[in-house]
Amino acid sequence: MWETLVQSGRTDYVASATLGDVLNGLADPRRAGFFKNLGGSDSIIGAPHGYQVNYYDYSQPGAALEDPTWSHAAISYVEVEFLMAHAAVAGWAGASDAATHYENGIRASIEEWGGSSADADAYMMHPMVAFSSTTAATQIGVQKWIAMYSNAFEAYAAVRMYDLPMQTAALAGTVTPSRYSYPLDEYSLNTTNVNAAAANYSGDDTFAKVFWDM
């Protein structure tokens, strides 16, 4: 991230309104950790997703992401707790209580990004955050998506797995694809196998769903 945001000298990474509007609507305490150049009451100034905009008019990735020593886990306690919440809602043996795992995941994420236990307590009182068995799947999906802010692949997976409503068509007219296509070097170096695999995805169609996204 340091190479991307600092060493590159680029000034084109800004907050998307897709995430910013959700975080603002929930008064999410992680906003000041996720982004800098915030508006009043720590609100994120998000750009319309997919548009070319003036970098300085919008919130930008937070200082933590610019730290060259910032660490990253391939799979974190936060992600495991959301996976366990999902398993509990699905009725899988050994997953115990969904609400407990869900709240553990939220609390750990908030504290990871500089929030306090009191911040987490207040956040989980929000009517859109407080666990409900009737909306559990969507709640788990949304909160996992937020918590995976610094793990883009898992956030992308959460959008598809839970059919989250905030990721439909961008204002610029683009639609979030269901999968990545195979890269050109695979077609060049592994032609037989990649063609066989692509046949499972309507000829490598980026809108054909992967096996767990049904």
| Res 127: pLDDT | 96
- 23, 40, 66: which is the final residue of a domain? 66
Regarding whether 188 and 151 lie in a shared domain, the answer is no
The predicted-structure confidence for 3-25, as pLDDT tens digits, reads as follows 999 999 999 899 999 999 999 99
Listed residues 32, 66, 100: the one ending a domain: 66
Q: Are strands 60-61 and 35-36 parallel, antiparallel or unpaired?
A: antiparallel
pLDDT at 166: 65
- Residue 61 falls within a domain, yes or no? yes
Query: 45 and 119, same structural domain?
Result: no
Residue 151 and residue 213 in one domain:
no
Q: Are residues 34 and 54 in the same domain?
A: yes
Q: Is 76 left (phi over 0), alpha (psi -120 to 50) or beta?
A: beta
| One domain, residues 56 and 81 | no
Please give the residue that has the higher pLDDT: either 174 or 79.
Answer: 79
Q: Are both 82 and 137 inside the same structural domain?
A: yes
Determine the pLDDT at residue 72: 84
As given in the structure block, the two tokens for residue 18 are 């897709």
Same domain, 58 and 81: no
What is the rounded end-to-end Cα distance, in angstroms, of the chain?
32
The reported pLDDT for the residue numbered 49 is 83
Segment 62-82 shows an average pLDDT of 94
Residue 52 lies in a domain: yes
pLDDT for position 52: 87
Same domain, 13 and 37: yes
| Other CB atoms within 10 Å distance of the CB of residue 50 | 13
Q: How many domains does the chain have?
A: 3
Contact 9, 15 (CB under 8 A): no
- Over residues 92-139, the pLDDT tens digits come to 998 989 999 999 999 999 999 999 999 999 999 999 999 999 999 999
> Domain of 107: which CATH number?
1.20.120.840
Q: Are residues 13 and 58 in the same domain?
A: yes
Secondary-structure percent of the chain, ordered helix, strand, coil, rounded to 5: 50, 5, 50
Q: Is the pTM of this model over 0.85?
A: yes
Burial of 119 (0-12, 13-18, 19+ CB in 10 A): middle
Residue 186 counted as domain residue = yes
User: How confident is the model over 31-56, as pLDDT tens digits?
Assistant: 999 999 999 999 999 998 878 899 99
State the pLDDT at residue 165.
73
pLDDT digits (tens, 9 = 90+) for 137-190: 999 999 999 999 999 999 999 999 998 876 555 666 677 889 999 999 999 999
With bands split at pLDDT 50, 70 and 90, how would you rate the model's confidence at 71?
confident
What residues contact residue 5 under an 8 Å CB cut-off, 6+ apart?
13, 61, 65, 66
Let me know if residue 168 belongs to a domain: no
What range does the domain containing 210 cover? 178-214
Select from 12, 35, 66 the last residue of a domain.
66
Distance CA 109, CA 42 (A): 18
Q: Are residues 100 and 136 in the same domain?
A: yes
Is residue 81 included in any domain, yes or no?
Answer: yes
* Same domain membership, residue 153 and residue 92: yes
* Of 147 and 213, the one with more pLDDT: 147
E strands, 6-110, in order: 35-36, 60-61
